[in-house]
């Protein structure tokens, strides 16, 4: 019998271990999905601070931790903002930009900007057997180590597969070019549309469905309601979108990053909202100068549109015709004509744009920095009394919802911890008060549910003997007035007054 019990116990432990082991492995798989690198060259950083702080990279002693190539496999360990902590196949851990990881390479579509010959080999020596036309939609299957040739497959029918040259042609529009990406990650579904969803792969020549008020309120939120050179400039961003076709959300996010939300020296001295020509060595000296806040926003957007996003709108004989229509392509362009030296520049702007979209997704109540605000349908900030959901609230001149005692219009009101105006009996601070149907605190005599109570000048309910208008009354411990009775040796009439 003893051996059977031991045997049964061991079997139970074994089964428990099997089931627990299975559950543990499933949990690990859910938390650490295997992902594929869909960036041509993906830097790996030692920590999030190194990934996000460009100043670290400017140190003469800085060295790259690691670099991944297209189709490399990693395991995601955790995510933070626009970054992911990963484990590489050699077991090392580091941080990368999350947007460049996919579960399948065909989850990412790519744009071929200019026509390219299609070959069976990757060295360019073979005679082309076909062509890939301008603005083609493809998948990238492989990349040569020098990143010059991509093996692609067209997304649309008829299917074509082969190798194309990625870099800009060495001579284009009478210019000698070294580098430049002709094949870039691209969200075709947003091309030529109205969208409030901006990623690093979104074409920036799209329209945002936003209002100047919504932009202004987001800027207020980001500046913590402190006046800066971005405060109240929503209409200028809408005008910049109208004149250039560049997405207003992108323009706001770009400005917010470059100017630290309107507080940088460059915007203060030169009304330069986009860091245009602000070189790392002497940014303030080299940055372009604009004559007003509005011109800095609008004319700066025109510069970005003509010089990067829609590059061929300038003289084609003066600049190469290769557009850089996405944040990713503006920053990473095979080392040629790149907007910023900060490797997190594109991801940071996209992160701000994502925050903007979440903020403006709906009006009404918003908890910002631990305080509640209410936005009207037109994105004006509600102040004063507000009726919402059948309840009354009060928001001060800054729009912050109030709680506790409130003095308004010569009367006292009480708002609970949720901001709701109270009516009827209120117990707070060890004292009782009575608030009428409009929420106003009562003083003097109060009649409710057939009984009389007396509140002093501070609104506090009284008990025991009270002298009112030269007459004595008695109030029981629960506050209601005694009447038609004798208290001690004193007789009280039907109106409660001592006879």
Q: What is the pLDDT of residue 280?
A: 79
149-208 tens-digit pLDDT = 999 999 999 999 999 999 887 655 555 667 789 999 999 999 999 999 999 999 999 999
On the question of pLDDT at 315 being above 70, the answer is no
pLDDT band at 93 (very low <50, low <70, confident <90, very high): very high
Q: What is the pLDDT of residue 176?
A: 64
Q: What is the pLDDT of residue 12?
A: 38
Exposed e or buried b per residue across 225-258, where buried means at least 16 C-beta atoms within 10 angstroms of its C-beta = beebbbbebbebbbbbbeebbbbbbbbbbbbbbb
453-483 tens-digit pLDDT = 999 999 999 999 999 999 999 999 999 999 9
| Full-model pTM | 0.86
Average pLDDT rounded to a whole number, residues 329-333: 96
Are 149 and 129 a contacting pair, CB within 8 Å?
no
Q: What is the pLDDT of residue 128?
A: 95
For 76-85, which contacts have Cβ atoms below 8 Å and span 24 or more sequence positions? 76/32, 76/33, 76/35, 76/101, 77/31, 77/32, 80/48, 81/52, 81/351, 82/344, 82/347, 82/348, 82/350, 82/351, 83/48, 83/51, 83/52, 83/347, 85/48
Q: Indicate the average pLDDT of the chain.
A: 91
The fraction of the chain above a pLDDT of 90, given in percent, is 83
The values of phi and psi at residue 293, to 5°, are -60, -45
Q: What is the pLDDT of residue 27?
A: 39
On the question of pLDDT at 5 being above 50, the answer is no
pLDDT band at 285 (very low <50, low <70, confident <90, very high): confident
Average pLDDT rounded to a whole number, residues 123-148: 94
Average pLDDT rounded to a whole number, residues 368-375: 95
Q: What is the pLDDT of residue 317?
A: 46
Q: What is the pLDDT of residue 4?
A: 38
Q: What is the pLDDT of residue 401?
A: 98
Judged by DSSP in three states, 281 sits in coil
Q: What is the pLDDT of residue 23?
A: 41
Q: What is the pLDDT of residue 321?
A: 61
Give the end-to-end CA distance of the chain in Å, rounded to a whole number.
93
243-256 tens-digit pLDDT = 999 999 999 999 99
387-436 tens-digit pLDDT = 999 999 999 999 999 999 999 999 999 999 999 999 999 999 999 999 99
Q: What is the pLDDT of residue 32?
A: 62
pLDDT band at 15 (very low <50, low <70, confident <90, very high): very low
On the question of pLDDT at 13 being above 50, the answer is no
Average pLDDT rounded to a whole number, residues 207-231: 97
Judged by DSSP in three states, 27 sits in helix
Provide, for the chain, the percentages of residues in helix, strand and coil under a 3-state DSSP scheme, each rounded to the nearest 5: 25, 30, 45
On the question of pLDDT at 42 being above 90, the answer is yes
On the question of pLDDT at 215 being above 60, the answer is yes
Q: What is the pLDDT of residue 18?
A: 38
Q: What is the pLDDT of residue 458?
A: 97
Cis peptide before 158, with omega less than 30 degrees from 0? Answer: yes
Average pLDDT rounded to a whole number, residues 94-105: 97
Q: What is the pLDDT of residue 171?
A: 57
pLDDT band at 124 (very low <50, low <70, confident <90, very high): confident
Q: What is the pLDDT of residue 22?
A: 43
Instruction: Please name the helix (run of DSSP H) or strand (run of DSSP E) that holds residue 55, with its range, or none.
Output: helix 54-57
On the question of pLDDT at 16 being above 60, the answer is no
Q: What is the pLDDT of residue 313?
A: 52
Q: What is the pLDDT of residue 1?
A: 40
Average pLDDT rounded to a whole number, residues 21-44: 69
Report the residue count for the chain.
Answer: 499
pLDDT band at 33 (very low <50, low <70, confident <90, very high): confident
């Amino acid at each position: 019998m003893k051996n059977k019990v031991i045997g049964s116990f061991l079997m139970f432990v074994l089964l428990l271990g099997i089931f627990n082991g299975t559950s543990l492995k499933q949990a690990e798989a859910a938390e650490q999905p295997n992902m594929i690198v869909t960036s041509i060259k993906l830097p790996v950083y030692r920590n999030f601070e190194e990934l996000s702080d460009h100043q670290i990279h400017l140190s003469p002693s800085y060295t790259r931790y690691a670099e991944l190539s297209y189709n490399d496999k990693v395991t995601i360990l955790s995510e933070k903002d626009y970054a992911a902590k990963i484990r590489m196949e050699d077991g090392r851990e580091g941080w990368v930009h999350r947007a460049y990881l996919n579960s399948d390479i065909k989850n990412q579509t790519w744009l071929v900007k200019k026509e390219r010959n299609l070959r069976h080999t990757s060295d360019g020596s073979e005679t082309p057997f076909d062509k890939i036309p301008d603005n083609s939609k493809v998948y990238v299957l492989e990349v040569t180590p020098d990143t010059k040739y991509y093996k692609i497959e067209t997304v649309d029918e008829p299917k074509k597969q082969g190798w194309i040259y990625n870099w800009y042609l060495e001579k284009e529009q009478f210019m000698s070019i070294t580098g430049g990406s002709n094949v870039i990650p691209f969200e075709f579904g947003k091309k030529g549309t109205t969208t409030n969803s901006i990623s690093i792969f979104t074409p920036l020549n799209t329209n945002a469905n936003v209002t100047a008020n919504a932009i202004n309120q987001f800027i207020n939120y980001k500046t913590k309601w402190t006046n800066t050179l971005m405060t109240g400039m929503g209409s200028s961003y809408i005008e910049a979108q109208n004149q250039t076709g560049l997405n207003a959300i992108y323009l706001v996010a770009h400005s917010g990053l470059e100017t630290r939300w309107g507080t940088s020296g460059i915007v203060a001295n030169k009304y330069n909202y986009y860091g245009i020509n602000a070189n790392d060595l002497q940014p303030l000296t080299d940055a372009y100068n604009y004559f007003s806040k509005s011109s800095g926003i609008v004319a700066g957007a025109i510069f970005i549109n003509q010089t990067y996003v829609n590059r061929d709108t300038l003289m084609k004989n003066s600049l190469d015709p290769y557009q850089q229509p996405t944040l990713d392509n503006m920053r990473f362009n095979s080392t040629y004509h790149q907007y910023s030296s900060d490797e997190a520049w594109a991801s940071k702007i996209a992160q701000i744009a994502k925050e903007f979209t979440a903020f403006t997704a709906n009006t009404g109540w918003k908890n910002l920095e631990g305080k509640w605000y209410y936005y009207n349908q037109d994105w004006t900030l509600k102040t004063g009394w507000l009726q919402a959901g059948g309840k009354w609230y009060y928001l001060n001149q800054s729009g912050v919802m109030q709680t506790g005692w409130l003095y308004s219009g010569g009367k006292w009101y009480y708002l609970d911890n949720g901001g709701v105006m109270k009516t009827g009996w209120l117990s707070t601070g060890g004292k009782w008060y009575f608030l009428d149907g409009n929420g106003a605190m009562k003083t003097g005599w109060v009649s409710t549910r057939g009984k009389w109570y007396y509140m002093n000048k501070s609104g506090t309910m009284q008990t025991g003997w009270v002298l009112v208008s030269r007459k004595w009354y008695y109030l029981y411990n629960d506050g209601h007035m005694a009447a038609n009775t004798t208290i001690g040796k004193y007789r009280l009439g039907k109106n409660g007054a001592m006879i």
